[in-house]
Amino acid sequence: MRLPQSSIRPLSVFLIQLPIISAILVFALAPANAGTGAAQLTASPSIMRFGSVDVGQTESLLLTLTNGGATSVTWSQVSVTDAVFATPNLTLPLVVPAGQSVDVSISFTPTTTGWTGGMIAFSGSSSTPTLSVQVGGGGVDNEAVTAAPSTLSFGQVAVGGSASLPLVLTNARHWAVTITGIQISGSEFSISGVTFPLKLGGQQSVALNVNYAPQSAGLNGGSLFVSGPSVSIPISGTATTSAVGQLSISPASLNYNSVPVGTTDTLPITVSATGGSVTISSDSTNNSQFVLTGASFPLTIASGSSKSFNVAFTPQNSGTISGSLSFASTASNSQKEPLTGVGTATPYSVNLSWNPSSGATGYNVYRSTTSTGSFARINPALDSNTAYSDSTVTASTTYYYAATSVNSSGVESSLSTPVQVAVP
């Protein structure tokens, strides 16, 4: 099940909402059962916190409804106290067999700035207990801390195994923001790589890892709630008892022919998943002269399917250049694509000619990189010709040339008026 994308935003400027959030935590309503001795109905999480969401944008979280009783339960009605909360794609009646669970997507679409709290109640016949869940979220206009990616999907991970995906939190402000901690819903998920509390300076980022270690088969949903800026990141994964997918890249390596320095050549690659679906969260290269193009992550490749991308090579200097491309994914194997290219410098030469000077037995040629700078002689010996070819120039440089004449007594004239030549 794939969660909808959302734009996670912080609470509006200087919202005094922490007491309200605390109040929700303190006075959270336990799931209400209408009858005694009825099915044991629970919701996880018992409180859904959407954090800060852009006005008009939607964020969705998974709610797990569990029937711990001995008989099945049928819910035929869902009611919400505020229309900003909804249960999209839910088909009623909803039947939960004894001892089983179902996952329901709950969405939050704020229409105004500020905090909104409410309740979502699942009910049925008089014999079916009503299950109520407290929900809350804040509508904002401007973001303080952003999460990349804004939602995490682990795809399929084997029961008893584990997977890790990177998450980057960035302070979009020009002043510091303090992250006091991260609260996780979903026992299968954890974080590593950073210690809180943490102060993020203006425009700074921090990278951490989100880990998924399922213990039983099925869809797992949860969220990371970043305290301080109030950012909520939906997370999900599917635990499977079947084989976890592997990733393969074709061709086995990319080799670029001679590419002029400063220009770009591209070659295609195909990434395939076998034995199970694979979710790719990001790519990386160890040489910035190679760049993957045409990809948007996170990306899930179904088992037996492939995706094609291009790798661009833009040499910055001449000679053989090497690198490698790798992917962060949920695959049980790791793949690294070797990359090799040859940067070539386009040969240039400047051809000069001048009118002969009376009484001259030879000429000297001088060059400078500025019109008023020091000129240096570039011909190795006195030249009797009235033409000269300079093949020692480099690309993207402007040169200034001047010539002198030398008579039979060895007397050299002053420099001629310089001429400017720009080498592309």
Give the model's pLDDT for residue 310.
96
Q: Tokens 């059962």 — which residue?
A: 33
Say whether both 12 and 128 belong to one domain.
yes
How far lies 229's CA from each of 17, 137, 172, 381, in Å?
A: 11, 13, 11, 73
Q: Measured between alpha carbons, how far is 247 from 251 in angstroms, rounded to an integer? A: 13
Give the model's pLDDT for residue 39.
56
Number of helical (H) and strand (E) elements in the chain, helices listed first: 1, 35
Q: How many CB atoms lie within 10 A of CB 7?
A: 15
316 with 287: CB under 8 angstroms? no
In the listed set 241, 262, 280, which residue is the last one of a domain according to the structure?
Answer: 241
| Interval 172-219: pLDDT, tens | 888 999 999 999 988 899 999 999 999 999 999 999 999 999 998 888
Task: Report which of 205, 196, 203, 189 is spatially closest to residue 226, judged by C-alpha positions.
Answer: 196
Give the model's pLDDT for residue 384.
94
Say whether both 224 and 253 belong to one domain.
no
Task: Report which of 296, 323, 298 is spatially closest to residue 309, judged by C-alpha positions.
Answer: 296
CATH of the domain at 261: 2.60.40.10
In the listed set 322, 344, 366, which residue is the last one of a domain according to the structure?
Answer: 344
Say whether both 206 and 253 belong to one domain.
no
Say whether both 28 and 104 belong to one domain.
yes
pLDDT < 50 stretches in the chain: 1-38
Say whether both 219 and 259 belong to one domain.
no
Say whether both 259 and 179 belong to one domain.
no
Give the model's pLDDT for residue 29.
32
Q: Measured between alpha carbons, how far is 404 from 34 in angstroms, rounded to an integer? A: 107
Task: Domain count for the chain, please give it.
Answer: 4
φ/ψ of 40, rounded to 5, equals -85, 100
Give a three-class secondary structure readout of 54-107: ECCCCEEEEEEEEECCCCCEEECEEEECCCCEECCCCCCCEEECCCCEEEEEEE
Say whether both 203 and 261 belong to one domain.
no
DSSP SS3 for 390: strand
362 with 384: CB under 8 angstroms? yes
| Interval 242-271: pLDDT, tens | 777 889 999 999 999 899 888 999 999 999
Range of the domain at 250: 246-344
Say whether both 121 and 72 belong to one domain.
yes
Q: Measured between alpha carbons, how far is 121 from 125 in angstroms, rounded to an integer? A: 13
Instruction: Say if pTM beats, i.e. exceeds, 0.75.
Output: no
Say whether both 279 and 168 belong to one domain.
no
